[in-house]
Amino acid sequence: MAVIAGNYIYGKEVVGLQALEALNAHSDVLTIISGWNDGAFKKELEQRNIAYKIIKLGWIYITKPLWTLDSLIHIPGAWLSYWKIAKEYKPDIIYTDSYRNVILLWPFLKKKSVVLHVHEEHAYVKRGKGFIQKVLPKTNRFIAVSEFIKNDLLACGVCEKMITVVYNSTKEVEEVEKAYMPGDVLRIGIIGQVLKTKGHEDLIDALILLKGKMAFTLSITGTGDNHYIEILKNKISANGLDKMVNWNGYVEDKGQVYESLDVVVVPSRKNESFGLVAAESGMYYCATIVTDAGALGEIVKDGKTGFVVDKEDPSSIADRIYKLYDRQTLMEMGQNGRQRVQKLFSEKAFKSEILSALELSIKN
């Protein structure tokens, strides 16, 4: 049985759907949607023929008293519904992606019956470490999305033998023969939320250093902090990069974006639990430059599939971009990147490892 909040569909929910799909193909799985939701997660379950029930567990929100009140009003009914479901299905293992569900269902969970899929840091987050330690008695296994998150769980006091690393996956795309640098112009891209912590400014500073030394374009895909976007646009304009930079905004089909790029840069200033863009770019034969921020260095093999540089270091980013101004280097790194992603970050690998982790939990 699985308990997923399913409020909306973001990265964590996509991973949860892949896990549920793998479980449902192996044996029938009942999913409990435990939060207020927009209906999208429910539709995805229906499309996959995964059975589900909805209960409203909520949470205690210090800064949102009305949300907390709503949760408290619904919790007695949610407990009764869960008790009836558990009595009928008698689950051996409960798969969930949040410690909140474990805490809220505490009285109804058997000792060591939970498999907790961990997507975020907790050890150095306010109250995060305490919550992980709180759910330990009920947890059979922790699934970490990266070695970085595994080390974070170790810092929370979790025993290493209780942790299995299962990398998130990216969709397989057809093999193609990619043409790099049309017109001898290096096509650089940055994809994702436009926030100060994502390091867009560091990439722009790197390109300022490269102006006049090589031909390049920059494609910025994503939306975010409007004030920060204006700061970036002003810097681009002030340094004469307007004609080289294209703002795409939000693009639903990111495959078309990756296909139009030679190099993807992920210059995060803060630690990333995984870093899906770095994996996706490899699937599309792009060389990838990342900062040594959390798990990003696990995805890119420095010098083989791209480069790993220090955080907030525009000069190093510029140096690595310049090294990629060569078709042969791009071709070799693109091929290496695709092979690495297919081996470590494919849906097939993800589903196999998720099932292995759950089977190990049942044996324990």
Task: Give strand pairing partners of 194.
Answer: 224
- Residue spans per domain, the chain: 2-169+347-363, 182-344
pLDDT of residue 337: 98
- Beta strands (DSSP E) in 64-161 are 94-96, 114-118, 139-144
Residue type, 105: L
pLDDT of residue 224: 93
Average of per-residue pLDDT across 309-333: 98
Which has the closest alpha carbon to 296: 286, 309, 284?
A: 309
Overall fold of domain 2-169+347-363 = Rossmann fold (3.40.50)
Which tens digits make up the pLDDT trace of 160-187? 999 999 999 998 999 889 999 999 999 9
Mean pLDDT of the chain: 94
Higher pLDDT, 3 or 155: 155
pLDDT of residue 34: 84
3-state secondary structure of 236: helix
Q: Can you identify the CATH homologous superfamily of domain 182-344?
A: Glycogen Phosphorylase B; (3.40.50.2000)
pTM for this one? 0.92
Strand order in the sheet with 114-118: 51-54, 30-33, 2-4, 94-96, 114-118, 139-144, 163-165
pLDDT of residue 255: 92
Domains 2-169+347-363 and 182-344 fall in the same CATH topology: yes
Q: Cα–Cα distance between 136 and 134 in angstroms, integer?
A: 6
